[in-house]
Structures are given as structure tokens and as C-alpha cells.
């Protein structure tokens, strides 16, 4: 008998269900006696013992279904060793529920914060496999995360739709794309949609250079400009400050504007006189069905995880490395972010065709 736990933690995205399906199908086709326990609402379910025994029927017809059938929640890693309001030791509670069910392995689907807790549980002696989920594609050690390509499709479509109204009215449009710390999603969607300016957290922008790029287009006969702006984009003058001062300055901005995009729009209007509009697709980027690419990727990741469970290979993340599905030691990945390098080939080639990054 193999007893496997499943949980999905952090923000949801496309292909969580597809990935779990890949794991379960990979196991059920190779193991006769199998029990799958789904912990509800992520680590919260593991902490408080909220789980249910899942059957094959639960995984039927979910390849194309977005979200997660077992729910998710955000449980900050920095609070995991802090007792809850009733004094409960969360780490000890998670371990006890793992042992209570006599699990052979716990399969955890999530992003960076989720992965840090997964690695902590590995250090506590549990058999852990992590599957990398995030629309930000910012998990160190893997080339791709499931959910990323589907989010690119949605963000790209949003920017595509803006082109027609921007050209009709001769306006400057800012489309704010998800990504607080890392700009892979904005970079890919910006290039795919033909954005004229792309602003990323890793490349602090100079508003004067942003305005100059807009002016250049207008003087060249282009009556509109599209900016793809990551929600974590940061002005150069603030990026130069230490972390504490940066936080203060960004708090000042958030007290006056809904997001950095609205401040940027205000700055552009004041400096150029151009009419600027802001569009924020928001959580739409995380919703809906996974696209075909993510369905294939998640199925491969899940099936590979099943093989690792059969071989009893634990303490790993199942990753995409050079277009191959491979094992990566969880200890070598956890706690690290995969940032956009300003010298990344995509950035340099985008610049070579005239896309401005405001630097």
C-alpha cells in the first residue's frame, strides 16, 4: 500500500489540477494499492488535519479545469515556526498529521514561499516532492513553472486588445502585468504583444527616458504607445535607496496611487501632456483553463513525480532543465529567486528592435 498526500499552496494558477492528475495517473497505472489524501486549503489543511481521501473520480475531467480541487491558501514561511493564536506548534502539527496518515510521501505544489516550507519539512524528516507552480516563472532551478505560459497568453491577449483602442484614440496606454519582484511574465507578454516599452522590477526605469521613448514614437508619426509594466516596476531614484528607504518611498506612492502604473501615468502626463490610460488585468491572469502547453508540461511533471515516488526518490523538486524533466535537490532551490538578468538575451534582442526598458 502506498499512501500519498497532496496539497496546493499559495496563489492559485492554471494547471494545478492537471499536475495533480499527472501524479495520480502515473501512480495508479503502476501501483495496485494506492491511497491519495488531499489536504484542503494548502498548509492550513496539513496543520489542522483537514483532509479527504480522494478517488479516481476526483481526477477525472480536470485536465482542463483551472484552480485547484483541494483549495489553496497563503501561509507565510516566516510565520511557520510561530505558534498560532491558540499556541499550536504548526510544524509539529504538520508532522503529526503526516505520520497519523502513515504517508509515504507528501507532494506539494506551489511557488517560492511554498517551496521554503516544503524544504523545512524535508529537513524535519518528511518525504517531500515539490512541483513548481507560479505564473511568475521565478523558481530557481527550473526553466519553466506550470501556469506561466497560460498567464503569458492571457496578459498578451489583454495587451493585444488595447492596441486597437489605443490607435483609435491616439493615447498612451499602460497595461499592468502581475509580478512584484520578478518580470518574466511582463517581459514575455510585452514582447509577444509588440509593446513599445517594457518596465521590469529588475531594470529600474528613468521616467525621463520613458517619456523620451514616447516622444520619439509620436515624432515618428506613431500616435499611440503601449507600455507593459510589471506591478513591481520601480523608478531609478527609489531603486538607489537602501531597502528601508525604498519601502518608505513605495508606501508613499501606494498611499496616493492604486499602483505604480498610476503614478507613472501621472508622471508621463505632467511631463509630456499626453493622455494616458491604465489597464490592470489583475487576477484574470491566474484564472481560467490551462493552455495546451501547460497541460503537456504539467502532465509530464506529474508523471515524473510519480516515477520518483515509485523509486522512493524524495527531497526533490521536479524541474524542467534544458527541455528535459529532471530532479533538482530541494535544498539547492529553496529560498532563491530566478530573476530577469538585464543582460538576458530576450532583453537585449528586444532592445535591438527598438523596445525601451526605460533605462
> Which residues is 355 bridged to in the sheet?
none
Integer Cα distance of 208 and 271 in angstroms = 8
- Express each pLDDT in 290-312 by its tens digit: 999 999 999 999 999 999 999 99
Contact 73, 44 (CB under 8 A): yes
Burial of 221 (0-12, 13-18, 19+ CB in 10 A): exposed
Average pLDDT of span 31-46? 96
How many Cα atoms occupy the beta-carbon half-sphere of 62 within 13 Å? 24
C-alpha cell at 307: 516515477
pLDDT by residue (tens digit) across 263-290? 999 999 999 999 999 999 999 999 999 9
Average pLDDT, the chain: 95
Which of helix, strand or coil describes residue 165? helix
Does residue 136 have an active-site annotation? yes
Domains of the chain (ranges plus CATH)? Answer: 2-147+290-333 (3.40.50.450), 149-286 (3.40.50.460)
Contacts 24+ apart (CB under 8 A), 322-328: 322/143, 323/143, 325/300, 325/301, 328/141, 328/142
Q: Half-sphere exposure (CA, 13 Å, Cβ side) for 174?
A: 27
Average pLDDT in the 121-134 region?
97
pLDDT at 170: 80
- 24 HSE (CA, 13 A, CB side): 23
Does residue 111 sit in helix, strand or coil? coil
Please check the confidence at residue 109 and state whether its pLDDT lies above 90. yes
Question: Which candidate in 136, 138, 153, 294 is catalytic?
Answer: 136
Q: Residues 6 or more apart from 41 whose CB is under 8 A from it?
A: 50, 70, 71, 72, 73
Q: CA 237, CA 161: separation in Å to the nearest integer?
A: 32
Residue 211 sits at φ, ψ, to 5 deg, of -65, -35
Q: What pLDDT is recorded for position 169?
A: 81
Cell of 61: 475531467
- pLDDT at residue 194, as a whole number: 96
The pLDDT tens digits for 172-205 are 999 999 999 999 999 999 999 999 999 999 999 9
Measured in degrees and rounded to the nearest 5, phi and psi for residue 132 equal -80, 110
CA 229 to chain centre: 16
pLDDT at 358: 96
DSSP result, 129-153:
EEEEB-TT--BTT-S--BTHHHHHH
Res. 254 pLDDT band, cuts 50 70 90: very high
Is the pLDDT confidence value at 167 over 90?
no
Can you give the pLDDT at residue 90?
A: 96
Amino acid at each position: 500500500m502506498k499512501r500519498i498526500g497532496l496539497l496546493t499552496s499559495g496563489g492559485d494558477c492554471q494547471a494545478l489540477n492537471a499536475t495533480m492528475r499527472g501524479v495520480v495517473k502515473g501512480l495508479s497505472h503502476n501501483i495496485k494499492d494506492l491511497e491519495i489524501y488531499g489536504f484542503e486549503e494548502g498548509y492550513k489543511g496539513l496543520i489542522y488535519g483537514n483532509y479527504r481521501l480522494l478517488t479516481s473520480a476526483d481526477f477525472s475531467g480536470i485536465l482542463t479545469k483551472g484552480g485547484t480541487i483541494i483549495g489553496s491558501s497563503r501561509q507565510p514561511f516566516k510565520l511557520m515556526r510561530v505558534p498560532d493564536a491558540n499556541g499550536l506548534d504548526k510544524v509539529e502539527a504538520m508532522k503529526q498529521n503526516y505520520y497519523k496518515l502513515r504517508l509515504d510521501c507528501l507532494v506539494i505544489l506551489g511557488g517560492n514561499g511554498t517551496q521554503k516550507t516544503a524544504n523545512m519539512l524535508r529537513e524535519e524528516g518528511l518525504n517531500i516532492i515539490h512541483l513548481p507552480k507560479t505564473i511568475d516563472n521565478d523558481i530557481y532551478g527550473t526553466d519553466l513553472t506550470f501556469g506561466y505560459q497560460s498567464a503569458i497568453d492571457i496578459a498578451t491577449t489583454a495587451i493585444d486588445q488595447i492596441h486597437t483602442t489605443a490607435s483609435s484614440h491616439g493615447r498612451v496606454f499602460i497595461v499592468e502585468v502581475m509580478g512584484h519582484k520578478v518580470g518574466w511574465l511582463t517581459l514575455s507578454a510585452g514582447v509577444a504583444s509588440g509593446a513599445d516599452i517594457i518596465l521590469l522590477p529588475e531594470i529600474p526605469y528613468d521616467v525621463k527616458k520613458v517619456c523620451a521613448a514616447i516622444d520619439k514614437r509620436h515624432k515618428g508619426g506613431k500616435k499611440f504607445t503601449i507600455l507593459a509594466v510589471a506591478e513591481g516596476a520601480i523608478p531609478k531614484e527609489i531603486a538607489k535607496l537602501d531597502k528601508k528607504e525604498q519601502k518608505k518611498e513605495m508606501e508613499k506612492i501606494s498611499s496616493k496611487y492604486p499602483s505604480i502604473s498610476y503614478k507613472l501615468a501621472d508622471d508621463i502626463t505632467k511631463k509630456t501632456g499626453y493622455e494616458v490610460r491604465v489597464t490592470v488585468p489583475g487576477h484574470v491572469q491566474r484564472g481560467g483553463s490551462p493552455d495546451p502547453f501547460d497541460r503537456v508540461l504539467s502532465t509530464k511533471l506529474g508523471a515524473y513525480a510519480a516515477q520518483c515516488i515509485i523509486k522512493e526518490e524524495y527531497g526533490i523538486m521536479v524541474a524542467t532543465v534544458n527541455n528535459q524533466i529532471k530532479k533538482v535537490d530541494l535544498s539547492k532551490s529553496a529560498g532563491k529567486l530566478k530573476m530577469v538578468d538585464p543582460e538576458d538575451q530576450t532583453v537585449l534582442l528586444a532592445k535591438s528592435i527598438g523596445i525601451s526598458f526605460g533605462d
